[in-house]
Structure 1
């Protein structure tokens, strides 16, 4: 029997999320307020007895001059992805509801893991001249059901969004991330899992007098100054300061510990800063920033280890470094970031990626052409 999809309240949405071990931070109700250019709505899936079985935060982006929308569920929805009747019970009623709301196209990011590579496997892949991408290397583990889900989505008209450019990052949310499993592991074991360079750098920062402290809203301008410098150095377009101020305000209003800010100080200078997000037992390193000055005192390793330590204290099951490149060529400027994250001793993780469904082929094609020209 298919489920019924309808709009639900923020309180219903949040209560369902909090009843689960975790969900993406992009699927909590407050995330819609972080994105003011989109209209956000909370969706619920109900069975015949009126029980709520799944939720989703959908963001609607209007087409100029038309009351038609791109509907986007980033890293969601939060449903039973392994239900044998996934299409009929969960996805078809969602598409019908979104079409009735004026959506011409739907984009979603199933939170389903496909493959994992251990830190050693990543290191070996980087060293292997025959491996141009992470997917060329033998994975440490597979999730066979994920491949089945991908096949079923294709058969029912969903199209997988291809990665943009050569850096392996998708046009929306990253398909490849790096995570450190925490569940059931004492902090000492996690520390032993850091590679030798990481352990040396954490110790060096401590001996040099680097102090990592938690900041607040008033410290966001200091974070942003470093973030803007990082953007110029690493060749990406920075978000404006008001974005982070809005993010702090709405996320911490929903849950005081949803977002944290950390800053690494040394002799009166702020050398590095980072934001951390928490939903249930999943903790994310969200945005990082650093200056090129005084790199020898290793503020980046110091700030990450402090965040990992605090995440462990919070009872995290996983510490998530977010996106990585899957391109392993030395010419790729993002390879250094992959090496840094791999030094944490965790694992590279491939998700199912983002998928599109066209509800109006003409408008969907027009959107594709517009995005291709950007």
Structure 2
């Protein structure tokens, strides 16, 4: 059993054999983050001449020559055997020594209850997740009509209403990225959430579109009124970014956009459409409070639940701490 560092091309060839992998483990995602304060490195576990598992780790430099290590939605492959994980972890420990890492955070792409390893036995502790802990997965099995029938009747109605009202959806051209960002800025101001810079979304577009992502704009009479950007790898598509203006919201452009993204995901062979983030509450609480709550992710939950699917909760994040006093200090300063 050996662990070797690999370049992006070799890493992506490995991921081709793992349609269950998360898009955050792809080389384009690592390249995207590398343009905004991180570095990406990748390792493969080789056993009996075969690539059995691997991971992409992001390195965030801190002042004084320190760093943070982060494995988003990884490792990938057959990593949950103790001996395999120990080999990967040994490599990460060496990287931590090399980069003076204060801690290593991993956030496996494993549903709650399906994590076979006891990570605390490897020196990890539960940590606040960076990615959404809970989401809705919409099944793309069956014909399009079956997917529609699994939705809430009001959602089906709104999808068709958008068409009747004259909403048109098409793929955005590169020169239309500022339109998307303007809509995103308006949405962020209205709903009070933080967004990245324009350069970040432009870099995401350039690295992922057209092969692993699409950006759509919804128009009414030539006026851009909403937008959606979805990413895909293997058997899943993720709805990462959505935006809408203040005008013509009654024409339901966001529903038209979601249906466009779902149809695209199905056409490319995906099995699941991930609505990416809802309040981290039990299903009973979600159903009891969605009509009255508007704080946090509650506002989008009411919208997302209409598309059907099932609520799932991920295993969460785990930290391996190398410098405990600095760990507490850096986290208090808001670095993670």
Q: Deviations over 1:107-160 (max 9, x none)?
A: 11111012xxxxxxxxxxxxxxxxxxxxxxxxxxxx4x43x53xx112332111
Instruction: Say which of 21, 24, 37 aligns to 1:23.
Output: 21
For the 8 Å contact 1:6–1:97, the answer to whether it is kept is: no
Instruction: Say which of 203, 206, 209 aligns to 1:249.
Output: 206
Specify the alignment match of 1:154 in structure 2.
120
For the 8 Å contact 1:5–1:94, the answer to whether it is kept is: no
2:26 counterpart of 1:51:
no
2:261 & 2:253 partners in 1: Cα distance? 12
2:245 counterpart of 1:291:
yes
1:340 & 1:221 partners in 2: Cα distance? 25
Matched position secondary structure for 1:293: coil
Q: 1:161 to 1:26 in 2, by over 3 A?
A: same
Instruction: Say which of 304, 309, 328 aligns to 2:263.
Output: 309
For the 8 Å contact 2:219–2:226, the answer to whether it is kept is: yes
1:236 & 1:16 partners in 2: Cα distance? 36
1:176 & 1:81 partners in 2: Cα distance? 23
For the 8 Å contact 1:216–1:260, the answer to whether it is kept is: no
Q: Normalising by structure 2, report the TM-score.
A: 0.90
Displacement after TM superposition at 1:242 (Å): 0.7
Q: Equivalent residues in 2 for 1:178-193 (5 A)?
A: 178-182=136-140, 184-193=141-150
Q: 1:217 to 1:22 in 2, by over 3 A?
A: farther
Displacement after TM superposition at 1:291 (Å): 1.1
Specify the alignment match of 2:111 in structure 1.
113
Q: Deviations over 1:147-196 (max 9, x none)?
A: x53xx11233211113xxxxxxx4x11111111012x4221110111111
Specify the alignment match of 2:177 in structure 1.
220
2:137 counterpart of 1:176:
no
1:272 & 1:69 partners in 2: Cα distance? 38
Instruction: Say which of 360, 365, 373 aligns to 2:323.
Output: 360
2:251 & 2:208 partners in 1: Cα distance? 32
2:21 & 2:229 partners in 1: Cα distance? 18
Instruction: Say which of 236, 258, 270 aligns to 2:224.
Output: 270
For the 8 Å contact 2:133–2:280, the answer to whether it is kept is: no
Q: Normalising by structure 1, report the TM-score.
A: 0.82
Specify the alignment match of 2:236 in structure 1.
282
For the 8 Å contact 2:3–2:87, the answer to whether it is kept is: no
1:304 & 1:338 partners in 2: Cα distance? 14
2:154 counterpart of 1:197:
yes
Specify the alignment match of 1:138 in structure 2.
none
Q: Equivalent residues in 2 for 1:33-182 (5 A)?
A: 33-35=31-33, 36=35, 37-47=37-47, 49-66=48-65, 68-83=66-81, 85=83, 87-114=85-112, 143=113, 145-146=114-115, 148-149=116-117, 152-162=118-128, 170=129, 172-182=130-140
Displacement after TM superposition at 1:250 (Å): 2.1
Moved over 4 A (4+): 84-87
Which runs of 5 or more residues in structure 2 are unaligned? none
1:43 & 1:102 partners in 2: Cα distance? 19
For the 8 Å contact 2:18–2:77, the answer to whether it is kept is: no
For the 8 Å contact 1:157–1:357, the answer to whether it is kept is: yes
Displacement after TM superposition at 1:7 (Å): 1.5
Displacement after TM superposition at 1:11 (Å): 1.0
What is the number of equivalent residue pairs in this alignment? 325
The more displaced of 292-301 and 83-92 is 83-92
Matched position secondary structure for 1:30: helix
Specify the alignment match of 2:300 in structure 1.
337
Displacement after TM superposition at 1:75 (Å): 1.1
Q: 1:363 to 1:50 in 2, by over 3 A?
A: farther
Q: 1:94 to 1:80 in 2, by over 3 A?
A: farther
- Aligned residues: CA RMSD: 2.0
Displacement after TM superposition at 1:100 (Å): 4.1
